[in-house]
Structure 1
Amino acid sequence: MSLNRKDFLRYLITGGLGACFGGASAIPKYFKENGAGLVTVKRQSLVMGSVASFEVVADSERAGYEAIRKAVDVFRSLDKKLSMYRDDSEMAVLGKSAGRTPVSISEDALEVLGFSKKISESTGGLFDVTIEPAMKSWGFRKEPGDLIKEPTHEELRKLEQLIGSEKISITGNRAYLEQKGMAVDLGGVAGGYALDKAIEEMKRSDIRAAYINFSGDIHCFGQPLDGESWKVQILDPGTGQPLQESINLQERALSTSGAYENRRENEGASWGHLLNPETARPVEPVASATAIHASAMMADAWSTASYLGAEAPGEVETIFIK
């Protein structure tokens, strides 16, 4: 996951989640009058290569900041296991061992890989974390300024042989990529998993409510001081303006996928980072797809899968912008 992966989304929360790196907001008048000594604490942190914005309702600033610290620790711990940008992560080691030997991985990595295999099966392969070799070929792992060339037809045919979650074997605490050259990109699921784990950790803290915006993926629990739910507005990528109707989130998570979140260019051609696993090519069937579910991991995976054309289960609410 890269910095500002979903910066096309700006989520507007009453009371302002904005670019505040610290500080507690004033307690609303009606709370003061009723003797409730709650405060809202806000902070941003760079985690897993992107920005996470936190808003916490607590009895004290100290409790709020401590809950945020614990959540940040969760993100940073998972980054060491799930990142495809770290050479020492468990996913990097898994890729280096592809076609040679199984590797031992953590319970977190096992859970994410197992979940990803199930989603791949239920979407007919439209969601597939083994897309990483194609992501590299289309230039999404290159540094700014590096020359990017579109893969040839022959290269694409070879890439197709490396894609397929059925080629991920899991036995006990060991995982194995069955073909040399395979690699895993958990960008469509790791952020949601990290949000779920961070919210679980915050619920164990001495706070009343929390909202996390992790580069456009949202998760929350409890209530803000000024209402019964967290109000979120999604931008229309075509106009750059928020949709008129806001989304009320309470104990729910939200994720949005769109091809313009991350783009590459070459000789006048431009393409987004969402690839069809069947063809190893970028596709742009809709402007964006948003998924809402109690689990951020489910929302994260199904925003991508729905964007690529998979039909989400009834428990997942989807919103499309054409």
Structure 2
Amino acid sequence: MAVVSDSIRRARPLLGTFVEIEVAAAGRSEMEAAIDAAFDAVAEVHRLMSFHEPDSDVSRLNQDACIRPTRVDPRTFQVLETAAELYRLSGGVFDVTIAPALQAMGLLPRLGGDPVLSRNARFADAIELLPEHMVHFRSAGVTIDLGGIAKGFAVDRAVDALRGLGIASGMVNAGGDLRIFGEPRTVHVRDPRDPNRSICRIDVADDALASTALRFDLFDGVRSGSSAVIDPSTRRPAGSTDGVTVRAPSCMIADALTKVVMISASDAGGLLEHYKASALLIGTGGDVQITSDWHHAVHLAA
């Protein structure tokens, strides 16, 4: 008879952050095997879609896709298809071709010289998604970063791995990208102006959450005053909102929508509705806005 443990929690450095996986309500050996499989799924997404790994699909595309159509893994192609859909539905607000702006800010490494900050290199004009998982960049100035959307996809893949091995309840957390299934949980969201303080708690059940906010110095807690979310129309950091948390059915969509809401604020309502998502926005003055369908699950701190 399998020995049943209440829960197991493990963490590993992946995707440029620490990935934490917790599972419950199964035999210990089954939970250990499921956690290993989930970490393997995350590591595979890292291998395929990391901007930093020289042999990743993303690095090969950035190097070769402007010269010739380049074949990528079906999973990378799936993320690119989702990015293309989000670009179209957001009116270009979500755009993975903003990598040169992130390089110019020092948030991504400069590979082979100064980044090309061409405003003409937008997804719709710059990237062709072709049959048989082939990708072509129409000019040499195109550089992509799948970053957050790939991290959200990795969380979803980890959850699929856990469920596929019979785990009925668990959580996967990758540095602000979180997905919970089975037993409901309460998640505390930190105040983007003071990360030592919780601004609210959110009841979560079979949903994904993603958050983004202004950058802080991890050592002295000083806010940098800018966001790592780039507005594609200006190629500059978004500045109208201090922080955003989005709830969605998948972590890939939740992560992508945090970027759109960070830039567009309340104008993103139609896109949130399309993806059956909800949002919490913290304005620069500390005011909190919550979409009307989410008030019952969000409890603001006193």
Question: Where on the TM-score scale, by shorter chain, does this alignment land: which range?
Answer: 0.7 to 0.9
Aligned mates of 2:137, 2:85 — CA distance in 1: 16
Letter of the 2:281 partner, please give it: F
CA RMSD of aligned residues (A): 2.2
Residue identity in the other structure for 2:145: D
Identify which of 180, 183, 199 aligns with 1:243.
199
Q: What SS class does the counterpart of residue 234 from structure 1 fall into?
A: strand
TM-score (norm 2): 0.82
Report the counterpart of residue 160 of structure 1 in structure 2: 119
Do 1:262 and 1:272's aligned partners in 2 also have CA atoms closer than 8 Å?
no
Matched AA of 2:71: S
Percent of aligned positions that are identical: 23
Dislocated runs of 4+, deviation >6 Å: none
Q: CA deviation at 1:261?
A: 5.9
C-alpha distance in structure 2 between counterparts of 1:261 and 1:60, whole Å: 41
Q: Which residue of 1 aligns with 2:300?
A: none
**Structure with greater strand share of residues:** 2
Structure 1 counterpart SS, 2:146: coil
Partner residue of 2:169 out of 209, 228, 251 = 209
Deviation of 1:285 after TM superposition, in Å, equals 1.2
- The SS at the match of 1:68 is helix
Matched, 1:321 2:271: no
Residue 29 (structure 1) aligns with: none
Distance in 1 between the 2:250 and 2:144 partners?
22
Deviations 1:114-141 (A, max 9, x none): 1001101111111100111121122212
Question: Is the contact made by 1:261 and 1:272 (CA closer than 8 Å) also made in structure 2?
Answer: no
2-structure distance, mates of 1:204, 1:99: 38
Q: Quote the Cα distance in structure 2 between the aligned partners of 1:179 and 1:116.
A: 19
Task: Report the secondary structure of 1:284's partner residue.
Answer: coil
User: Structure 1 regions of 5+ residues with no counterpart?
Assistant: 1-35, 144-150, 224-228, 264-268
SS of the residue 1:207 aligns to: coil
Q: Between Structure 1 and Structure 2, which shows a larger proportion of helix residues?
A: 2
> How far has the Cα of 1:84 moved from its partner?
0.7
CA distance in 1, matches of 2:95, 2:208: 21
Which of these residues, 69, 84, 91, is aligned with residue 102 of structure 1? 69
How far 1:62 sits from its partner (Å)? 1.7
Question: 1:235 is paired with a residue of what secondary structure?
Answer: strand
Q: Which 10-residue stretch deviates more, 116-125 or 310-319?
A: 310-319
The equivalent of 1:68 in structure 2 is 35
Q: Does 1:307 align with 2:262?
A: yes
Q: Which amino acid aligns with 2:13?
A: L
How far apart are residue 170 of structure 1 and its match?
0.9
Q: Larger radius of gyration, structure 1 or 2?
A: 1
* Cα deviation, residue 113, structure 1: 0.3
Aligned residues: 265
Deviation at residue 99 of structure 1 after TM alignment: 2.5
> 1:255-303, CA deviations, whole angstroms, 9 ceiling, x for partnerless residues?
011131689xxxxx86432111111112221111111011111101101
Mapping of 1:209-228 within 5 angstroms?
209-223=169-183
Equivalent residue, structure 2, for 1:8: none
